[in-house]
A and B are shown apart, each in its own frame.
Chain A
Amino acid sequence: MSAPGDTRAPEATDGGGRSGGPPVQPSLGVLGWARFVWRQLTSMRTALFLLLLLAVAAIPGSTFPQRSIDAARTAQWISDHPTAGPILDDLGFFEVYASPWFAAIYLLLFVSLIGCVVPRTRVHWRQVRSVPPRAPRRLERLPAHREVVVDGTPEEVRERLRGALRRRRYRVHAHDDTSLSGEKGYLKETGNLVFHVALVGVLVGVAWGHLLGWRGDVIVPVGSTFANTLSRYDTFSPGPWVDPNDLDPYTLRLDRMDVAFETEDTGPGQFGQPRDFRASTTFTDGDGTERSEEIAVNHPLETGDGTVFLLGNGYAPRVTVRDAEGTVIYSDATAFLPEDNFYTSVGAVKVPGAVPEPLGFAGFFLPTGVIDDERGPHSVFPDTLDPQLALTAFEGELFPGGRPQSVYTLDTEAMEPLPGDEADQLRILLRPGETFELPGDRGSITFDGVERFAGLSIRTDPGKTLTLVAALTSLTGLVASLVVRRRRLFVRVGPADEAGRTVVAVGGLAKDDDEGMDDELAAVLTTDEGPR
């Protein structure tokens, strides 16, 4: 922290900045070793090394898919790389930011930081309350220096200079009758300490949010109501200290979902891009008070217990399955997950009550469907210009072994495909209003129409305010530490050869190389109150 040649406060060098450490003696002892390791850890070189290591360690998280962000892509990557995949998985490459090695780096960095900041704060506190040190005997040895002869007695000249320094916001002290010591820019070190301490605040805020925050995701088709209880969530991930049974009772009904896509711009990558998503909802709080709320991207809804974000949308085709007698055995708006920008969506319809055996349908919903030999069924525009449902049918055991499975896929391990006419497998293509008779008295399936759904994510992060305040504090400290200049300025006066004139020597010492120190000396000498 001290520039070479910085004579002030030698005790303020960072804890072991000159990191030669003590000479290693055979009998260092446990305490000695501990002290040695601590000195190394809290040295600026180590901090620098850890910072660079942190940067390098963060990179794999952007090149490998991360499980917490996209579990499906991660699983795909691992199965595509049967040798490297499992090894990298064991090493934590798919969960970089939760991996022990990443944590080790930043925790060491912060231990080092605290070990660095505490003694520095003590030193700084002492310096702030003390007077500037005595002027060196030979001012011409200082990096910036000049000498002039002016009118006036040494006492007069010194008093004028004292005023000049004060006006330039120096703290001034006279250790003897012929010199002055001035210092300013204490704010630089204060800013630096605030910056580093506030970084700790950011870390605490992040950790707090991690421990006490939670998020849950749920898909709500238009017309449905979501009730804020644990069982209603499709996925729920609580922080370790969260009681998931203690959620505020409220309900949210999705009244309408408005979606706009780009239709005018046909340039590559633009046509069909989403332009606007808007969910009109009715929010009912625990007391039964209703109010209308609009949720849009960039416009979440604050509920008091979690914030509701609109993060996704898609289609839920309404499908009805009847048995041979025409009795309805399944009727629901079933969400299909969009897979590409044009909302080619995959999903499954599971009918456990079918006879003679449970039925399962799996396939695609296409808002604007095209089926070609090369790409199979796919959508060419995200809005419902020509909605189609392309399904294959299976019968057999829907939930083999009672294993949990995704609602969007069919586990066909214990199922047989229904046979088709020419093709080996039955293929069903339905447009809204159409019904398909299943072969062999198995009943029928009808595509009644399609609803939109909203993908809502409800989250709390109690640490976010602390994180933000700490980050902004840190920024303020940083700016202060980078902008403010710490300067020491010394003055010596003495009688000149001619009577009534005085030799003034001024010398300046700045932290770091400070281009402006020469100007500063000149300015002090030429202020109104300075020597004439």
Chain B
Amino acid sequence: MTETTFAQLSTLSAYSAIGVLTLAMIAYAFYLARLAPARDERREQEAARRATPERELVGVGGGADQDHEADRAGAAGPTSEMPVESAGARKAAGIGWTLTLLGTVLVVAAVALRAAEVHRWPLGNMYEFALVGSMFTLLAYVGWSFRRDLRWLGVFVVVPVLVVLGTAETVWYTEASQLMPSLQSVWLAIHVTVATVAVAIFTIGAALGGLYLVQDRIEARGGTRSFMARLPSARALERLSYMTHVVAFPLWTFTVIVGAIWARQAWGAYWNWDPKEVWSFVIWVVYAAYLHARATTGWKRQNATWIALAGFVCVVLNFAVVNVYFVGQHSYSGL
């Protein structure tokens, strides 16, 4: 196959992914809409059940296994708080999940074909970052879904991915080309790949953090019948958000370290305060502040989460603004 064919197939694959993911988004939205917001009734039952566990358990006598199961269902995880599913809702979620898997495969194919086209690691310009970033976000969501029920999160992951993919194809699209000399390095593959994985996970973390803040507001107002009542509790959302940040932060730390190693190879100094380096540093410090805030006694979780969201704003600025408008050594957006 010629390179042009690869290019056409890659673009075709990306556009198909956009189509498929749009359908996935609709299915997931339908799923949430069809869920009965019955969490509160469920919660009350649960509270009643949890109020009298000792007696029951002691009565069980021999079987520790049994009460293990019972208690597991009652553990304060998001699963236990999931609302009742109608058959329609379950079907919609199934469709959403299948389409998300298909969309993920298509994005992976688009990336692979792009790599075949350019004969190198496909992370050399903004278009490619966006494509690969979408891929990692989807992979992170799919991978995590195998470990816990995240169907309620589907729409909140698919929408940002669609925004990024759509912008990538329409605004950032760049013809395949070779890399400028400073980008021709093995460190590129490591540095940019890990950075993109970190950003993908930060994206999911920011989605969860945003949901947490909304949910928290609603819970504080005692609102129950809202759309948000179909999602896990504020506490569970906050914890999930923290978990994603805890994965992404060391990855970002690693990104910055490897970036410094590479900067020395390419530009002679491991740290030059180039705008991109400044922003990577700012992002790192803001997320460090988030982890700190979360661990500081007397600091509210809400405020900590705001810091995490500020960190994500920096991530977005670093990608969408610093790449394009700031003069620096990292000016290789390809635009």
> Contact at B282–A58, with CB atoms within 8 Å?
yes
Number of A-B contacts (CB under 8 A): 189
Residues of the B chain whose Cβ atoms lie less than 8 Å from the Cβ of A262? 177-178
Per-residue CB contact flags for chain A residues 262-292 toward chain B (1 = under 8 Å, else 0) read 1001011110011111000000000000000
> Contact at A48–B296, with CB atoms within 8 Å?
yes
Per-residue CB contact flags for chain A residues 450-489 toward chain B (1 = under 8 Å, else 0) read 0000000101010010011001101100110010000000
Chain A's interface size range is 35 or more
> Contact at B289–A482, with CB atoms within 8 Å?
no
A308 and chain B: residue at smallest CB distance:
B268
> Contact at A62–B180, with CB atoms within 8 Å?
no
Q: Which of A369-408 contact B (CB under 8 A)?
A: none
Cα-based distance from A97 to B281 in the complex (angstroms): 12
Cα-based distance from A161 to B266 in the complex (angstroms): 58
Q: Which of B68, B239, B272 contacts A525 (CB 8 A)?
A: B68
B47 at the interface (CB under 8 A from A): no
Q: Is the interface of A mostly helix, strand, loop or mixed?
A: mixed
Known A140-B54, A297-B181, A297-B266; judge A45-B299 contact (CB<8 A). yes
> Contact at A513–B297, with CB atoms within 8 Å?
no
> Contact at B58–A17, with CB atoms within 8 Å?
no
Residues of the A chain whose Cβ atoms lie less than 8 Å from the Cβ of B293? 48
Known A62-B278, A461-B270; judge A475-B58 contact (CB<8 A). no
A446 at the interface (CB under 8 A from B): no
> Contact at B289–A18, with CB atoms within 8 Å?
no
B59 and chain A: residue at smallest CB distance:
A149
Cα-based distance from A515 to B72 in the complex (angstroms): 11
Residues of the B chain whose Cβ atoms lie less than 8 Å from the Cβ of A299? 265
> Contact at B268–A300, with CB atoms within 8 Å?
yes
Distance between B267 CB and nearest chain A CB, rounded to angstroms: 7
B35 at the interface (CB under 8 A from A): no
> Contact at B257–A471, with CB atoms within 8 Å?
yes
B311 and chain A: residue at smallest CB distance:
A55
Residues of the A chain whose Cβ atoms lie less than 8 Å from the Cβ of B297? 1-4, 13, 17-18, 44
> Contact at B299–A48, with CB atoms within 8 Å?
yes
B275 at the interface (CB under 8 A from A): yes
Distance between B251 CB and nearest chain A CB, rounded to angstroms: 10
**Can you pick out 9 interface pairs between chain A and chain B where the beta carbons lie within 8 Å of each other?**
A17-B297, A63-B326, A70-B327, A146-B53, A147-B54, A269-B334, A471-B260, A515-B239, A522-B68
Residue positions of B touching A, CB distance < 8 A: 53-54, 57-58, 60-62, 64-65, 67-68, 71-72, 75-77, 174-182, 184-185, 239, 246, 249-250, 253-254, 257, 260-261, 264-275, 278-279, 281-282, 285-286, 288-289, 292-293, 295-299, 307, 314, 322, 326-328, 334-335
Residue positions of A touching B, CB distance < 8 A: 1-4, 13, 17-19, 44-45, 47-48, 51-52, 54-55, 58-59, 61-63, 65-66, 68-70, 73, 96-97, 140, 146-151, 206, 215, 262, 265, 267-270, 273-277, 296-300, 307, 309, 311, 457, 459, 461, 464, 467-468, 471-472, 474-475, 478-479, 482, 501, 503, 512-513, 515, 518-519, 522, 525-526, 530-532
